[in-house]
Amino acid sequence: MELLYALGKLYPSTRLFTRKSQLVAYESDGLTAFRAEPLAVVVPESQEEVIETVRLCYQSQTPFLARGSGTSLSGGSMPVEGGIVITLNRLNHILRMDPENRLAVVETGVVNLKVSQAAAPHGLYYAPDPSSQQICTIGGNLAFNSGGAHCLKYGMTANHVLGIKAVLADGEVVELGSESADTVGPDAAGFFCGNEGLFGVALEATLRLTPKPQRYCTVLAAYDSLEKAGHAVSVVVESGLLPGAMEIMDRLSMDAAEAAVKAGYPKDAQGLLITELEGEKEAVEEDFKQLLFLIEKTGAYETRIAKDEEERLMIWKGRKSAFSAVGQLSPDYLVQDGVVPRSRLGEALAKIKEYSKEAGIAVANVFHAGDGNLHPLIMFDGKKDGTLERAEALAGRILTMCVQMGGSITGEHGVGVEKKKYLPEMFSEIDIDCMKRVRRAIDPLEIANPGKLFPGGEAPALTTHGAHPLEKAGIISRE
Amino acid sequence: MQHVIDKKSLGPKVNALTQGVEACVHCGFCLPTCPTYDTLGAEIDSPRGRIFLMKEVLEGSVPMEEALDPIDNCLGCDACVTACPSGVEYDHLITAFRAKAEKERRKPLGRRILRSMILNTLPYPYKARLAFKMGKLAIPLSAILPKSLKPALGLLPRSLPAKDSIPEIYPAKGEKRGRVALLAGCVQQVLAPEINRASLEVLSANGIETFIPRDQACCGALALHTGVEKEARKTARQLIQSIPENMDALITNAAGCGSGINEYSILFAGEKEESEARTLAGKTKDISTYLNEIGLLSPPELPKPLRVVYHDACHLAHAQKERKAPRLLLNAISNLSLLEPPDWEICCGSAGIYNIEKPELAKQLGQTKAQNLLSTEPDVVALGNIGCMTQIEKHLESYESPPPVLHTVQILASAYNQDS
Ligand SMILES: Cc1cc2nc3c(=O)[nH]c(=O)nc-3n(C[C@H](O)[C@H](O)[C@H](O)COP(=O)(O)OP(=O)(O)OC[C@H]3O[C@@H](n4cnc5c(N)ncnc54)[C@H](O)[C@@H]3O)c2cc1C
Ligand code: SF4
Ligand code: SF4
| Model pLDDT for residues B300-340, shown as the tens digit of each residue | 999 999 999 999 999 999 999 999 999 999 999 999 999 99
Q: How far is A41 from chain B (nearest CA, A)?
A: 10
- The predicted pLDDT at position B162 comes to 65
Q: Are residues A316 and A396 in the same domain?
A: no
Q: How far is A258 from chain B (nearest CA, A)?
A: 10
Confidence of residue B144 (pLDDT cuts 50, 70, 90): very low
The hierarchical CATH code for the domain B299-419 is 3.40.50.11810
How would you classify the pairing of strands A271-279 and A200-208?
unpaired
Site to probe by mutation for ligand 2, drawn from B31, B73, B78, B343 as the one with most ligand atoms within 8 Å of Cβ, is B78
User: For ligand 1, is residue A449 a contact (CB within 6 Å)?
Assistant: yes
The Cα–Cα gap between B80 and A104 comes to: 30
Q: Are residues A220 and A309 in the same domain?
A: yes
Same fold, B7-104 and B299-419: no
Instruction: Flag whether pLDDT at B146 surpasses 70.
Output: no
- The predicted pLDDT at position A454 comes to 93
Confidence of residue B140 (pLDDT cuts 50, 70, 90): very low
pLDDT (tens digit, 9 = 90+) per residue, A292-304? Answer: 999 999 999 999 9
CATH number for the domain spanning A282: value is: 3.30.70.2190
Chain A residues with beta carbon closer than 8 angstroms to that of B6: none
Interface of A with B (CB under 8 A): 17, 19-22, 24-33, 43, 69-71, 87, 89-90, 92, 111, 132, 134-136, 257, 259-261, 321-328, 331-333, 382-383
Instruction: Flag whether pLDDT at B154 surpasses 60.
Output: no
3-class secondary structure, B126: helix
Q: Domain ends where: A324, A350, A372?
A: A324
CB atoms B66 and A321 under 8 Å: no
Locate the ligand 2 atom nearest the alpha carbon of residue B75 and give its number. Answer: 3
Closest listed ligand to the CA of A25: 3
Instruction: Return the residue whose CA atom lies nearest to atom 4 of ligand 3.
Output: B27
In a domain, A421, yes or no: no
Substitution target from A135, A328, A388 for chain B, most B beta carbons within 10 A:
A135
In a domain, A447, yes or no: yes
- The predicted pLDDT at position B107 comes to 67
Q: Are residues A95 and A226 in the same domain?
A: no
Confidence of residue A478 (pLDDT cuts 50, 70, 90): very low
- Picking from B24, B29, B88, the nearest residue to A134 by CB comes out as B29
Domain with residues B7-104, CATH architecture = Orthogonal Bundle (1.10)
Structural domains counted in chain A: 3
Q: Are residues A150 and A296 in the same domain?
A: no
Instruction: Flag whether pLDDT at A110 surpasses 50.
Output: yes
Interface of B with A (CB under 8 A): 1-2, 22-29, 31-32, 41-44, 46, 48-50, 52-53, 56, 61-63, 66-67, 84-88
The Cα–Cα gap between B107 and B112 comes to: 6
- The predicted pLDDT at position A461 comes to 30
- Picking from A30, A111, A257, the nearest residue to B26 by CB comes out as A30
Whole domain around residue A365: which residue ranges?
330-414
In a domain, A263, yes or no: yes
Q: Domain ends where: A324, A359, A387?
A: A324
- The predicted pLDDT at position B136 comes to 52
Chain A residues with beta carbon closer than 8 angstroms to that of B84: 324
Q: How far is the CA of A112 from the centre of ligand 1 (A)?
A: 10
- The domain segmentation of chain B, as residue ranges, is 7-104, 299-419
Confidence of residue A386 (pLDDT cuts 50, 70, 90): confident
CB atoms A132 and B28 under 8 Å: yes
- The predicted pLDDT at position B353 comes to 58
Q: Are residues A274 and A253 in the same domain?
A: yes
CATH number for the domain spanning A175: value is: 3.30.465.10
Q: How far is the CA of B90 from the centre of ligand 3 (A)?
A: 9
Q: Cα A190 vs. chain centroid, distance in angstroms? A: 15
The answer, as to whether pTM is greater than 0.80, is yes
* A-B Cβ pairs (cutoff 8 Å, strict): 110
- The predicted pLDDT at position B167 comes to 86
Do A97 and A208 touch, CB atoms closer than 8 A?
no
Instruction: Flag whether pLDDT at A68 surpasses 50.
Output: yes
CB atoms B27 and A324 under 8 Å: yes
Q: Are residues A311 and A338 in the same domain?
A: no
Q: Are residues A156 and A15 in the same domain?
A: yes
Instruction: Flag whether pLDDT at B119 surpasses 80.
Output: no
In a domain, A220, yes or no: yes
Q: Residue range B230-243: average pLDDT?
A: 88
- The predicted pLDDT at position A383 comes to 82
pLDDT (tens digit, 9 = 90+) per residue, B257-286? Answer: 899 898 898 888 889 889 999 999 999 999
Instruction: Return the residue whose CA atom lies nearest to atom 2 of ligand 2.
Output: B77
In a domain, A422, yes or no: no
Chain B residues with beta carbon closer than 8 angstroms to that of A366: none
Confidence of residue B145 (pLDDT cuts 50, 70, 90): very low
Chain A residues with beta carbon closer than 8 angstroms to that of B87: 259-260, 325, 327-328
In a domain, A239, yes or no: yes
Q: Percentage of chain B with pLDDT > 70?
A: 83
3-state per-residue secondary structure call for chain A:
CHHHHHHHHHCCHHHEECCHHHHHHHCCCCCCCCCCCCCEEECCCCHHHHHHHHHHHHHCCCCEEEECCCCCCCCCCCCCCCCEEEECCCCCCEEEEECCCCEEEEECCCEHHHHHHHHHHHCEECCCCCCCCCCCEHHHHHHHCCCCCCHHHHCCHHHHEEEEEEEECCCCEEEEECCCCCCCCCCHHHHHCCCCCCCEEEEEEEEECEECCCEEEEEEEEECCHHHHHHHHHHHHHCCCCCCEEEEEEHHHHHHHHHHHCCCCCCCCCEEEEEEEEECHHHHHHHHHHHHHHHHHCCCCEEEECCCHHHHHHHHHHHHHHHHHHHHCCCEEEECCCECCHHHHHHHHHHHHHHHHHHCCCEEEEEEHHHCECCEEEEECCCCCCHHHHHHHHHHHHHHHHHHCCCECCCCCCCCCCCHHHHHHHCCHHHHHHHHHHHHHHCCCCCECCCCCCCCCCCCCCCCCCCCHHHHCCCCCCC
Instruction: Flag whether pLDDT at B124 surpasses 90.
Output: no
Instruction: Flag whether pLDDT at A465 surpasses 50.
Output: no
Mean pLDDT of the residues in chain A: 91
Do B66 and B72 touch, CB atoms closer than 8 A?
no
**Ranges A52-66, A200-214, B349-363: which has the least confidence:** B349-363
Q: How far is A175 from chain B (nearest CA, A)?
A: 27
In a domain, A6, yes or no: yes
Q: Percentage of chain A with pLDDT > 70?
A: 95
- The predicted pLDDT at position B395 comes to 94
In a domain, A111, yes or no: yes
Which positions ≥6 away from B97 have C-beta within 8 Å?
B17, B54, B57, B71
Instruction: Write the single-letter amino acid at B317.
Output: A
Substitution target from A324, A328, A330, A377 for chain B, most B beta carbons within 10 A:
A324
